[in-house]
């Protein structure tokens, strides 16, 4: 049996598609727990109507506590030998659970992760970075063998053995956004082995109205939560290395994984508040203490912006991101092609490492 936890809050218009997709899985042995997280709309009533029609679905009603707490509440009620999670505004392709279950049966691994598509309007698009994480397949692998996979930090494109989940003491941080990354980092580092497959196992809905949690990055609360969850994840990696794990996992994490979503914050620099800028500088300096974002695998414009942030050069960082927003193309290069330039911005005293162009 697969136990599936589905937190629901203010998603009455979207919840039916999610539940329909889960209950229509080709793997039929399911226990689906919908956690009505104090939803102000009819989400709880919709879930109850589904429970009345399908005995595989149970509804739990709670006061509003947030996504992490709702998932943890669901874990206290769900049964099953395997665990999965789904967000109530997304959709699970019909063979997703069967595919992942068959993989675990073949390998004996602790959990399996598959690829995803962004679902926007009528379009389904597999992000390039997810393709790179999941192709080729890697069965019974480890964080030491495939450290880049630590960048796949989503709860819902995975199937976990319940015995592993409980033995590892996994749960979701509560009262904070971006709770997936700390928990998934611990899962990767604590697993004896996990499977990485290229199959598309989840449709992540991109809401056009900008109401999803991941579309609120200009707020102080969002940036504080991002800093906290990144710090929690980095602490887990550092503890893993201190306990004898290979140092290259930490190096890959700092160079390739941890900076992966910073560009989404850098675009908010023009027009940001003083407090938000101060917090951004503090976050970058904390997480990359003793090193520089210039020495990462970010794109040239993001490496340059990261260096300007860590040196508290707000005016120059604003000019760079404003130029990019207005021109929507890569930065110009120096005459020899080795460095990026920004028209009208003096970058002569910037570390050459931060200005280097891509080959």
pLDDT digits (tens, 9 = 90+) for 156-213: 999 999 999 999 999 999 999 999 999 999 999 999 999 999 999 999 998 776 555 5
Cβ atoms of 254 and 279 within 8 Å: the answer is: no
Is residue 214 helix, strand or coil? helix
Same domain as 275, residue 194: no
Same domain as 269, residue 166: no
Distance of alpha carbon 272 from alpha carbon 317, whole angstroms = 11
Cβ atoms of 5 and 78 within 8 Å: the answer is: yes
Same domain as 270, residue 194: no
Same domain as 196, residue 79: yes
Same domain as 21, residue 161: yes
In which residue are the tokens 């290979």 written? 246
Average confidence (pLDDT) over 274-281 = 98
Same domain as 167, residue 75: yes
Query: Rounded to 5 degrees, what angle do the CA atoms 97, 98, 100 make?
Result: 65
Over residues 12-71, the pLDDT tens digits come to 999 999 999 999 999 999 999 999 999 999 999 999 999 999 999 999 999 999 999 999
Same domain as 113, residue 54: yes
Q: pTM for the full model?
A: 0.94
Angle of helix 15-23 versus helix 43-53 axis, rounded to 10: 20
């Amino acid at each position: 049996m697969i136990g599936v936890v589905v937190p629901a809050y203010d998603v009455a218009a979207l919840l039916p598609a999610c539940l329909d997709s889960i209950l229509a899985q080709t793997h039929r042995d399911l226990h689906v727990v919908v956690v009505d997280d104090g939803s102000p709309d009819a989400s709880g009533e919709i879930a109850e109507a589904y429970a009345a029609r399908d005995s595989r679905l149970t509804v739990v009603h709670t006061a509003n506590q947030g996504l992490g707490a709702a998932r943890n509440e669901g874990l206290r009620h769900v049964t099953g030998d395997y665990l999965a999670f789904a967000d109530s505004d997304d959709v699970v392709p019909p063979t997703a659970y069967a595919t992942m279950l068959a993989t675990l049966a073949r390998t004996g691994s602790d959990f399996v992760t598959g690829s995803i598509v962004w679902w926007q309007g009528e379009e389904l698009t597999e992000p390039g970075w997810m393709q790179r994480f999941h192709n080729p397949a890697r069965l019974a692998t480890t964080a030491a063998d495939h450290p880049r996979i630590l960048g796949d930090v989503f709860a819902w494109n995975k199937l976990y053995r319940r015995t592993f989940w409980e033995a590892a003491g996994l749960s979701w941080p509560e009262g904070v956004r971006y709770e997936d990354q700390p928990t998934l980092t611990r899962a990767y580092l604590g697993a004896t082995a996990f499977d990485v497959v290229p199959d598309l196992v989840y449709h992540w809905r991109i809401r056009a109205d900008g109401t999803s949690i991941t579309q609120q990055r200009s707020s102080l609360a969002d940036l504080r939560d991002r800093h906290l969850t990144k710090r929690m994840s980095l602490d887990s990696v550092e503890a893993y290395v201190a306990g004898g794990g290979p140092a290259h996992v930490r190096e890959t994490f700092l160079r390739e994984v941890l900076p992966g979503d910073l560009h989404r914050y850098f675009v908010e620099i023009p027009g940001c508040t003083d407090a938000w800028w101060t917090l951004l500088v503090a976050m970058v300096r904390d997480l990359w203490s003793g090193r520089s974002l210039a020495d990462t695998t970010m794109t040239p414009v993001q490496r340059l912006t990261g260096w300007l942030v860590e040196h508290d050069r707000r005016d120059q960082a604003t000019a760079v991101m404003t130029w990019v927003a207005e021109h929507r193309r890569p930065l110009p290069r120096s005459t020899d092609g080795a460095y990026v330039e920004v028209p009208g911005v003096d970058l002569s005293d910037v570390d050459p490492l931060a200005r280097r162009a891509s080959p």
